[in-house]
Structure 1
Amino acid sequence: MRLHRYSRPKETALSVPDKPAPDETLPNPLPEPLRFHSPAPLVDIGANLTHESFTHDIDATLARARAAGVETLILTGTDREHAEQAVALCQAHEGLYATAGIHPHQASEWGPELEAAMAELHQKPQVVAVGECGLDFNRNFSTPAEQERAFEAQLALAAESGLPLFLHERDAGARMRDILGAWRDDISRAVIHCFTADRETLHGYLDLDLHIGLTGWICDERRGHHLRDLVGDIAANRLMVETDCPYLLPRNLPAKLKGRRHEPALLPWIVREIAHWRGESEAELAASSTATARAFFDIKES
């Protein structure tokens, strides 16, 4: 979840009905040129579907994702409220899993009660990773000291539970690598979600045997073009794909999208862009990224 890229208030968690029923009367907001279909099943490892913008059409959103070949989604839990809402969505829909953690923006809220709540969430079968957690020294909505305290506490929870880590980092690569290096023997798998940094930072993470999540940032000619020269450095068994929706709508879509809300059905477009710059086919990247994601999150094929 990339809240730091937007000056927005904290969103309200999605209210999940006991028995959600799809609204067949809602029109498809995706114009025909944006109705993609992946050549192989995809896993979106970062979808913020508890965002309030999905409240009115969550069932239709999931139906469009499946029609596009996005069969599995990992819902990002950035605080206790959203993690609990993500678990509720997972219980109501097949093919959904959740993460549970405290985003560095909310690190100042960390305390014994929150730690206990997170540990309890990590025991739920729907929760497949600890996070979103990490460091964000760009805006420092929580102080660096508060961020490091909450981050190390969540590293301890990951070590205790054995769950992989879903990590956030912005403008904090060196410190992130130092902390992860000290914990590397105690934690299992870890992915840097929505990687946007430089070559040195990327190779530092790869040297720590971390996974890398890529978004539509690579589609942004203003600030993401540097990724085009880096994506070939990531081994197929370390690369996963994500939308980070409703954020980071790709800027190079072949048609305009009213409202500019990103959604999982657009993930095949991101795969197409990444595959182009890696010099491989969409089918190859779709297959490898899905296999990597299933192994990382320990998700069995249905």
Structure 2
Amino acid sequence: MLNNQYSWFDAGVNLFSAQYDTDRAQVMQNASAAGVGTMLLISSDLAETADNLSWCQNYDNCLTTAGVHPHQASAIAADWQTQLEQLLRLEKVVAVGECGLDFNRMFSPQAQQIQVFEAQLHLAKSTDKAVYLHERDAFDTQISLLKQHQISRGIAHCFTGDFTQLKAYLDLGLYIGITGWLCDERRGQLLQQAMTYLPADRLILETDAPYLLPRNLDNKPKSRRNEPAFISAIAAQLSNLTGWSVADIAKHSEYNARQLFHREQSQ
């Protein structure tokens, strides 16, 4: 199942998850052995951005987002926007986020989520950075705000929706982040059906590791922990659904990610 003959760009890794605390460097080695040439580290708050940036100093093949997840919207510092704007000026920071709305678990009040999200959309426009979007049970509100702020550059991170939602994001000009959710025969059926309508020039693969271990993976780890090294399992499933070759999926995904994050040349 794993395929290291292609160059992969993993556009979503939660590297500072506690699940990696004992073997973070080994996870990087595994990714490299599997052909992952570049990975984007995801920030849920500005403290995690600092961790990611520190890691990026030692790994040239790593980039990072900077932003505030909706779960953390009620925990921001008074000067968080100033801090974030400064971070977004850094060369290794290529996107604003993970930002968006989550009306499912409601770890932060709805009004606070919207306020923090809108502030980040404004910063994305003013700093010319992509938006790295999270959404759960808040699609209509999120699309409305994206339209209001005229957002046309970004990625629907870990997209799990149906054709209608896919089309709405595509109509804005956004890329679609595909994870191991696609490999879940229980929860991923609507997403699998929507793949018929996903153009190759809007596809970006991401593992969202350590979450969403692809269920089609041979020899699944007992820990159920996902890694960037497993990204080709997502491509294999997408190939089964679309008829695209794994080689083409790898090529388009990497090219699209580099276009979105202004990394046209290999790191």
TM range (shorter): over 0.9
CA contact (8 A) 2:152 2:172 kept: no
Partner residue, 2:167: 203
Which piece of structure 1 moves more, 71-80 or 253-262? 253-262
Partner residue, 1:228: 192
Q: Return the TM-score normalized by structure 1.
A: 0.85
CA contact (8 A) 2:96 2:129 kept: yes
1:155-199, CA deviations, whole angstroms, 9 ceiling, x for partnerless residues?
A: 111111111110001111111110001111xx4511100000122
Q: Extract structure 1 runs of 4+ deviating beyond 6 A.
A: none
Relative to structure 1, is the Cα distance of residues 60 and 111 closer, same or farther in structure 2, using a 3 angstrom cutoff?
closer
Q: How many residues align?
A: 266
Deviation at 1:111, TM superposition (A): 4.9
Match of 1:217 among 181, 188, 192: 181
Partner residue, 1:269: 233
Q: Take 1:180 and 1:169, find their aligned partners in 2: how far apart are those partners?
A: 12
CA contact (8 A) 2:104 2:136 kept: yes
CA contact (8 A) 2:152 2:173 kept: no
Q: Return the TM-score normalized by structure 2.
A: 0.96
Which piece of structure 1 moves more, 106-115 or 81-90? 106-115
Match of 1:279 among 243, 253, 257: 243
Matches within 5 A, 1:1-302: 36-184=2-150, 187=151, 189-299=153-263, 300-302=265-267
Letter paired with 1:294: R
Partner residue, 1:28: none
Q: Take 1:256 and 1:208, find their aligned partners in 2: how far apart are those partners?
A: 37
CA contact (8 A) 1:174 1:201 kept: no
Q: Secondary structure at the match of 2:79?
A: helix
Unaligned runs of at least 5 residues, structure 1: 1-33
Query: Identity, % of aligned pairs?
Result: 42
Deviation at 1:254, TM superposition (A): 1.8
Deviation at 1:112, TM superposition (A): 3.6
Q: Take 1:121 and 1:232, find their aligned partners in 2: how far apart are those partners?
A: 38
Q: Take 2:60 and 2:109, find their aligned partners in 1: how far apart are those partners?
A: 38
Q: Secondary structure at the match of 1:92?
A: coil
Deviation at 1:126, TM superposition (A): 1.0
Letter paired with 2:190: H
CA contact (8 A) 1:214 1:240 kept: yes
Letter paired with 1:180: L
RMSD: 1.3
Deviation at 1:252, TM superposition (A): 2.4
Unaligned runs of at least 5 residues, structure 2: none
Deviation at 1:80, TM superposition (A): 1.0
Deviation at 1:110, TM superposition (A): 3.3
Q: Take 1:276 and 1:291, find their aligned partners in 2: how far apart are those partners?
A: 21
Q: Take 1:271 and 1:199, find their aligned partners in 2: how far apart are those partners?
A: 19
Letter paired with 2:177: G
Letter paired with 1:269: A
Q: Take 2:156 and 2:52, find their aligned partners in 1: how far apart are those partners?
A: 20
